Amino acid sequence: MKKLLFVGVLRAAGWTAFTRFDRSHGLRHDSRDSEPALPAAAELVSSSRFSCDGRVYCSQMSSCEEATYFLQHCPGTKMDGDHDGIPCERQWCNGP
């Protein structure tokens, strides 16, 4: 009986440690998210060119690609007034 109790406590401790590690490293895919938790290889290449550095306005961007990255990855951006997913339509991403 003591052995069974010990195994149960050990399992609970292991599960707790795993879930804390999983949450802190963002490895788990939340079914409510539309994107996978780990980015695709192509996204890693393009995202390495930009990083969230506090810029939030179109006037602070230098390309449509940069504005799109900021809109998709950085919180608090103010680049998509009509909420259609296309940032900086007047300055950078004016389409064809």
Closest CA to 88 of 64, 55, 70, 69: 64
- Domain boundaries defined on the chain: 1-29, 39-96
Position 20 scores a pLDDT of 67
Question: Who has greater pLDDT, 30 or 86?
Answer: 86
Cβ atoms of 56 and 76 within 8 Å: the answer is: yes
**Side-chain half-sphere of 33: how many Cα atoms within 13 Å?**
10
Q: Where are the beta strands (DSSP E) in the chain?
A: none
Q: CA 37, CA 41: separation in Å to the nearest integer? A: 13
Position 95 scores a pLDDT of 64
pLDDT in tens, 41-64: 444 444 468 999 999 999 999 999
pLDDT in tens, 62-96: 999 999 999 999 999 999 999 999 999 999 998 65
pLDDT in tens, 1-19: 877 767 767 677 767 766 6
pTM above 0.75, yes or no: no
